[in-house]
Chain A
Amino acid sequence: MLAKRIIPCLDVLGGKVVKGENFIGLKDAGGIAGLAAKYSGEGADELVFLDIAASGERRLAKGGWIKKAASALNIPFTVGGGISGIGQIREILRMGADKISLNTAAINNPSLVRDASEKFGAQCVVVAIDARNENGAWRVYSYGGKVSTGLDALAWAKQCEKLGAGEILLTSIDRDGTGKGFDCELTGQVAGIVGIPVIASGGAGSPRDFLDVFTKGKADAALAAGIFHYGSIRIGEVKGYLCDNGVGVRLEK
């Protein structure tokens, strides 16, 4: 049976891992190499590295750390942040990333999703959607949650699938960094209308939140950063809790 995945996310800024609340007020959480090795050892199923300044400053993720991560990790990892062209995607995959994540560039230039999927395969194209609830509807934000696009998150997710995305990384800006739990309603609605895997993100605060997003939210994977970085919850605890509650996860033997 396909296991539900637990994915620690490492937000990278200037070569360091950081995590903030509601995307502002960033705190330093530690070095990339150390955290990557720690998570892999603790049973993370995958890692996501997001260069959060890259899109805002309109520059691409610098590559040195990607090679380091690739040589150290025996699990898959995704790189995102400021990726806006096919050449960059090829370069990042060549440095050893398994997948790339497109966010702002996909909104500004949807054909990039199609081109990347045709060239490198849907399995390595993740589209990240940052959504905020506005008067009962979820709206898509770009540039790291700063710019409102006016796009409807459900319609945009569906379009991404049609363009050839292999997965949707869905972040609730409202919940991000709050520890109040994933937005199961948003996740469930998106997972219900697309035929590709959905990774839920934003709001993880307890093992129970993961159970809820896999059952009520119908997520295929769940991503979290802060709670893992600061050691308030360990991946093993989350997986043990999920296993006890009948959710299939990969446990280290």
Chain B
Amino acid sequence: MGNLGSVSYALKRMGKASSIIHGPKAVEEYDGLIIPGVGSFGPAMERLETFRDGIIGFAQSGKPMLGICLGMQVLFEQGTERGTHEGLSLIGGKVEMLKGTPKLPHVGWNTIELEGKSRLMERIPNRSYAYFAHSYACEPDFKGSIIATTGYGNTFVSAVEQGNVLGVQFHPEKSGAIGELILKNFMELAKECK
């Protein structure tokens, strides 16, 4: 789904082992699952179709999973990019085009406003800069799952945490030292669930 390479490079820089899974086999043997993604919602779901049961099974196992950018968006019930598409429905809500923005796509470094406590954002200073490249954003039904928001035109949801299912709209693998710390937090969660 696009940025597979950059996510695995980032984990490698941090000295963490990871595999790129090409088929719907044996996801359950991993401690944590990352769904990266750049591109468009519909085609991404088509490619994920063979993984659907594996991903849903993984989520139900209670082990942590992290969706990045489009990978976060597909965790939701419905995407509205170039037609309506069904998502993985692990988190209630839909994905809509950003509203009231000066320019689209929203590309570049923007700040994240942390909401409530979250393991993923541990030791991350409030209003840290993260790298974004997207035109759509998630609208979770359950506002309690929102762990970060970002202002661009209107305020949108830039990170969610619903139990063991996590998502970030920005690219931690491209967000400098702050992004690496977020990935490290995720890897620590995965280690604990082992």
Contact = CB atoms under 8 A, between A and B. Distances in A.
Interface of A: 1-3, 5, 40, 45, 70-71, 74-76, 93-96, 98, 118-124, 166-167, 195-197, 220-221, 250, 252-253
Classify chain B: how many residues form its interface, as a range: 35 or more
A123 B170 CA distance: 12
A120 B47 CA distance: 13
Contacts of A98: 3, 6, 38, 133, 174
A66 B151 CA distance: 33
A95 B2 contact: no
Which of A98, A121, A220 is most buried by chain B, counting CB atoms within 10 A of its CB?
Answer: A121
B108 A120 contact: no
A40 B135 CA distance: 26
B106 interface: yes
Given A1-B110, A3-B108, A96 B9 contact: yes
B125 A2 contact: no
A73 B54 CA distance: 31
Nearest to B39: A121
Contact of B129 (A96, A119, A250): A250
Given A2-B109, A5-B109, A45-B108, A71 B135 contact: no
A74 B173 contact: yes
Contacts of A253: 125, 128
Given A2-B108, A250-B109, A121 B131 contact: no
B5 A96 contact: yes
30 contacts: A1-B111, A1-B151, A2-B108, A3-B110, A40-B176, A45-B108, A70-B6, A74-B13, A74-B177, A74-B180, A75-B175, A96-B6, A96-B9, A98-B6, A118-B40, A121-B2, A121-B38, A121-B70, A122-B105, A123-B38, A124-B2, A124-B38, A166-B105, A167-B107, A195-B103, A195-B104, A197-B107, A197-B108, A220-B107, A250-B109
